[in-house]
Structure 1
Amino acid sequence: MECTEIGEIVVVGGKGGVGKTSVSAMMVKILSQNGGRLLVIDADPVISLTHALGERPKGTIGDYREKIIGSDEEKRAVLKRPMKAIIREMMISIEGRYDLLTMGRSEAKGCFCGTNEMLRYGIESLCGEYDTTLIDCEAGIEQVNRRVVHHIDKLFLLTDTSRTGMMTLTQLRDIAVQCNEGKPIAVHVLVNRVRSPAEEESVRRSAAEMDMTVIGCIPEDNAIREYNHSGKSLLCLPDDTPAIRALREILARISL
């Protein structure tokens, strides 16, 4: 199954610990203000983005998988209903600004294969109904590697200012290009928590040496740290905070 209507699929990935969830949440804030139909998918099993947005899921794909592998009675009751209808019930609609689907995790032993299969169905069955589908992957781009995301239009790879972070991104980029099955993909490198012009110059130089181009840098922003520490939704960040201003300019440059 593939999306039957035109709609951009935007994926955010990168190494762990560089503020990927915070940047994804800021993207949600900006894109939801731009108008258009926006689907947000929290594809990280620990549902970090959902929490960063100040939401609690009504249900997750992991919860659904638990019912399928549970008792025969539960399994029969669940499987009688169309999968798309069940996925719709899991989603949260945020005041008409965007819809949110949360992956979650299954408590069953083993890998996330079953949960990823259902996530793939959710993406493919819903993405055509939205102008933009924003997917926040777990650390790395595991869902891309497992072909959970069947097609990517724009891939944001997030890193910090370290050279090792940039080296990690080259591997993630190569995986994404290979998994996109020959379809064009725009890879955008974002550098987070930049503290000075010297740091920005250094990281751009490292990227160029690895045949990558940095589309933009997001400055260190104390407001984000304070919001995360207090558990306040990043959607409530003021529009004039340095990180929001920088990210808004970056997204505008690529017409997003």
Structure 2
Amino acid sequence: MSFTIAVAGKGGTGKSTLSALILRDLLKKDLKPVLAVDADADANLADMLGLKDIQTLGGIRQEVQDTKGEIPASMDKSTYVEMRLEDVLVEQKGYDLVVMGRTEGQGCYCYVNNLLRKYLSQLNENYPYIVIDNEAGLEHLSRHTTDNLDALIIVSDPSVKGILTAIKVKELAAELKLRVKDVRLVISRLPGDVPQALIDKAKEGGLEIFATIPYDEEILDFDLNERSILEIDDKSKAACAVSELMGKIVNQTSNVES
């Protein structure tokens, strides 16, 4: 069974950066193959990994919607879409990537989420680790894209708004009775010490700050030069912090299971 990690939080908090750094850490520790899932319609994780012009679940769905007369007569559209799912698996060194993407038209997004859930259930046994970069906000929780997790990492920037969103994510996950073994709050892009106001606000919502990721100029440089975050130096402050974070996440969750 895969060890599944999902990353959630407010937009602009560094979710995709953290997801990419988690993937990098797993590869560095030779915990592969890893399945990376870009469940954000904007495909930010794919960008962080330096991957361009890739096939998406939404793209396949849209192609089928636009297709006339090319689907075999013995097959309905839903069956044809499921047959095409393997086309979205982007194979890379040590990991594979699935991107949800977006489609046009009413009701398409829920359908693509259903496709993603079904495809992940098929792939679950093939990878020791799965890393899911969720879309910003809360809606993905209600679609149950984020379910049956070993760890839900809720990311906040050093702001009260970010903490409040993190609290809402935690509360909604509980309300929806999502199967999550471990919920952890991580403060990203931190320029210094954690302000006491953020610690207090998190505690008010039943959260404790589990780890922090320091602001790292090297991350910004990689973004500006459109380089894959997987290539970042081992001495990167953010990469070192994520390596420490992952050690705690995996060890503590394993202890809970035992």
The TM-score normalised by the length of structure 1 is 0.88
1:124-163 counterparts in 2 under 5 A?
124-163=121-160
2:242 corresponds to 1:244: no
1:211: Cα distance to partner?
A: 1.5
AA of the residue aligned to 2:226: G
1:57·1:92 contact (CA, 8 Å) conserved in 2?
A: no
Partner of 1:3: none
1:202: Cα distance to partner?
A: 4.1
1:83: Cα distance to partner?
A: 5.7
User: Which 5+ residue runs of structure 1 have no aligned equivalent?
Assistant: 1-5
Q: Using the alignment, how far apart are the partners of 2:197 and 2:26 within structure 1?
A: 30
Q: Using the alignment, how far apart are the partners of 1:248 and 1:52 within structure 2?
A: 18
1:200·1:217 contact (CA, 8 Å) conserved in 2?
A: no
1:23-42 counterparts in 2 under 5 A?
23-34=18-29, 35-42=31-38
One of 177, 190, 193 as aligned partner of 1:194: 190
1:254: Cα distance to partner?
A: 2.1
1:50·1:57 contact (CA, 8 Å) conserved in 2?
A: no
Q: Secondary structure at the match of 1:231?
A: coil
Q: Using the alignment, how far apart are the partners of 1:200 and 1:128 within structure 2?
A: 42
Partner of 1:176: 173
TM-aligned CA distance change 1:239 to 1:84, over 3 Å: farther
Partner of 1:91: 89
The aligned length equals 248
Q: Secondary structure at the match of 2:69?
A: helix
User: Which 5+ residue runs of structure 2 have no aligned equivalent?
Assistant: 252-258
Partner of 2:205: 210
The TM-score normalised by the length of structure 2 is 0.88
Over aligned residues, Cα RMSD in angstroms? 2.2
Partner of 2:47: 51
Q: Using the alignment, how far apart are the partners of 1:255 and 1:71 within structure 2?
A: 45
One of 100, 105, 119 as aligned partner of 1:122: 119
Matched residues, percent identical?
27
Q: Using the alignment, how far apart are the partners of 2:42 and 2:72 within structure 1?
A: 28
Partner of 2:224: 229
Query: Which deviates further from its counterpart, 84-93 or 219-228?
Result: 84-93
